[in-house]
Amino acid sequence: MENPTSTPGIAAEQPTKQRFILVFILLITLLVAYLDRVNVSVLLADNNFLMDMGIKGQPVQMGLLMTLFLIAYGIANVFLSPLGDILGPRKAMCLSILLWGASLAIGGLAVTFTTMLVARVILGIGEGMHWPMQSKYVKNWFPPSERGKANAVWVVGLMAGPAITMPFLTWAVQSYGWRASFFMLVALGLVPLLSLWFLTTDYPRQNSRVNKAELDFIEAGQKAEQELEAQAGHTSLWDNMKVFIFNYRFWLVTIYYFCLASTFWGTLAWLPSYLKTARGFSWAAMGALSSLPYVLGIVSVLASGYIADKIGRRAPLCVVSMLGTAAGIYFGAHAADNTTAALLLSLGIASIGLGIAPTWAIVQQIVPGKAIGAGAGMMNGLSNGGSAFAPVLIGFFISMTGSYIGGLMFLVGLGLTAAGAALILAYQKY
For the chain, what percent of residues have pLDDT higher than 90?
52
Check residue 235 and give its pLDDT. Answer: 64
Chain segment 367-422, per-residue pLDDT in tens: 765 666 567 667 877 887 789 889 989 999 999 999 999 999 999 999 999 999 99
For 62-83, give the secondary structure using H, E and C: HHHHHHHHHHHHHHHHHHCCCH
Check residue 53 and give its pLDDT. Answer: 97
Confidence grade of residue 2 (pLDDT, cut at 50, 70, 90): very low
Check residue 228 and give its pLDDT. Answer: 60
Q: Is the pLDDT of residue 202 over 90?
A: yes
Of the listed ranges 34-43, 134-143, 340-349, the one predicted with least confidence: 134-143
Mean pLDDT score of the chain, rounded to an integer?
Answer: 87
Q: Is the pLDDT of residue 132 over 80?
A: no
Check residue 91 and give its pLDDT. Answer: 95
Average pLDDT over residues 174-187: 95
Confidence grade of residue 190 (pLDDT, cut at 50, 70, 90): very high
Q: What is the DSSP string of 81-102?
A: TTHHHHH-HHHHHHHHHHHHHH
pTM of the model: 0.77
Confidence grade of residue 7 (pLDDT, cut at 50, 70, 90): very low
Check residue 321 and give its pLDDT. Answer: 96
Q: Phi and psi (nearest 5°) for 9?
A: 85, -5
Please state, in angstroms and rounded to a whole number, the distance separating the CA atoms of residues 335 and 280. 14
Of the listed ranges 7-11, 27-31, 137-141, 155-159, the one predicted with least confidence: 7-11
Nearest residue to 74 (alpha-carbon basis) of 244, 261, 282: 261
Fold of 237-430: Growth Hormone; Chain: A; (1.20.1250)
Q: Which residue has the higher pLDDT, 221 or 252?
A: 252
Domain boundaries, the chain: 16-228, 237-430
Is 237-430 in the same CATH topology as 16-228?
Answer: yes
Which CATH number is associated with domain 16-228?
1.20.1250.20
For the chain, what percent of residues have pLDDT higher than 70?
90
Q: What does the angle CA 368 – CA 373 – CA 377 come to, to the nearest 5 degrees?
A: 120
Chain segment 138-162, per-residue pLDDT in tens: 888 988 777 767 766 787 787 888 8
Please state, in angstroms and rounded to a whole number, the distance separating the CA atoms of residues 169 and 88. 33
Please state, in angstroms and rounded to a whole number, the distance separating the CA atoms of residues 184 and 60. 28
Of the listed ranges 234-238, 314-318, 390-394, the one predicted with least confidence: 234-238
Contacts of 306 (CB under 8 A, 6+ apart): none
